Amino acid sequence: MVAKAAFLMRTYNTEERFLRRAIESVLNQSETNFVFFIRDNGSTDNTKNILKEYAKLDERIILYRNNKNNYHTDAENREREEIFNKYFIEAEVEYFAVIDSDDYYDVDFLKITYEEAKKNNVDIVIVGNNFIKEKDEQITSTRIPPRLILDNKKISYNHFCNLYGSLRTLWGKLYSRKWWEKYWYELNLGRPTELISGSDTYVILTIVSEMNKICTLNIPLYNYRVRQGSVYTSSIDLFRIKEGEILFNKGVECAKAWNVLNEQSVTFLCNVYFNHIKDLLLIITTNNNIKIDDKIEYIRKVLNDKFFCMLCKKNDEFIYEIYKTLVLLIKIYGCDIKQKIISTINLEITSYQQKIYEEVLIDIDNNDFLNANIRIRTLLTELPLTTETIYLKLFIEIKRKNKEGMDLFSYVANNFFYEDKEIMDLVNFIQNLNKDMIVDDK
The confidence score (pLDDT) of residue 282 equals 92
**With left for phi above 0 and alpha for psi between -120 and 50, is residue 24 left, alpha or beta?**
alpha
User: Between helices 338-345 and 292-304, what is the axis angle to 10°?
Assistant: 30
Q: What pTM, to 2 d.p., does this model score? A: 0.90
Strand partners, 35: 6
Model confidence at 442, in pLDDT bands (50, 70, 90)? very low
Q: Report the C-alpha gap between 53 and 37 in whole angstroms.
A: 15
Model confidence at 439, in pLDDT bands (50, 70, 90)? very low
pLDDT at residue 252 above 70?
A: yes
Closest CA to 301 of 243, 368, 358: 243
Model confidence at 323, in pLDDT bands (50, 70, 90)? very high
The confidence score (pLDDT) of residue 26 equals 98
For 391-426, the pLDDT digits (tens) are: 999 999 999 999 999 999 999 999 999 999 999 999
Q: Average pLDDT, stretch 41-65?
A: 95
Q: Report the C-alpha gap between 208 and 394 in whole angstroms.
A: 46
pLDDT at residue 343 above 90?
A: yes
Q: Average pLDDT, stretch 381-398?
A: 95
| Residue type for position 100 | D
Q: Report the C-alpha gap between 307 and 313 in whole angstroms.
A: 10
H or E element in which residue 131 lies = strand 124-133
Residues 348, 351, 355, CA angle at the centre, nearest 5°? 115
The confidence score (pLDDT) of residue 193 equals 85
| Residue type for position 62 | I
The confidence score (pLDDT) of residue 218 equals 97
What DSSP line would sit under 406-419, residue for residue? HHHHHHHHHHH-TT
For 63-107, the pLDDT digits (tens) are: 999 988 878 888 888 888 889 888 888 888 999 999 999 999 999
What DSSP line would sit under 224-237, residue for residue? EEE-TTSHHHH---
Q: Average pLDDT, stretch 356-368?
A: 95
The confidence score (pLDDT) of residue 140 equals 93
Local structure of 289: helix, strand or coil = coil
Pairing of strands 173-176, 124-133: antiparallel
For 208-236, the pLDDT digits (tens) are: 999 999 999 999 999 999 877 665 566 67
Model confidence at 59, in pLDDT bands (50, 70, 90)? very high
Contact by Cβ (8 Å): 204, 113:
no
The confidence score (pLDDT) of residue 237 equals 84
**Considering the chain, what is the average pLDDT of its residues?**
92
Closest CA to 129 of 110, 139, 140, 143: 143
Burial of 289 (0-12, 13-18, 19+ CB in 10 A): exposed
The DSSP letter of residue 123 is S
Model confidence at 45, in pLDDT bands (50, 70, 90)? very high
The confidence score (pLDDT) of residue 233 equals 62
CA separation (Å) from 136 to 11, 17, 101, 140, 172? Answer: 21, 12, 17, 11, 21
Question: Hey, how many other C-beta atoms are within 10 angstroms of the C-beta on 182?
Answer: 16
For 115-173, the pLDDT digits (tens) are: 999 999 999 999 999 999 887 789 999 999 999 999 988 999 999 999 999 999 999 99
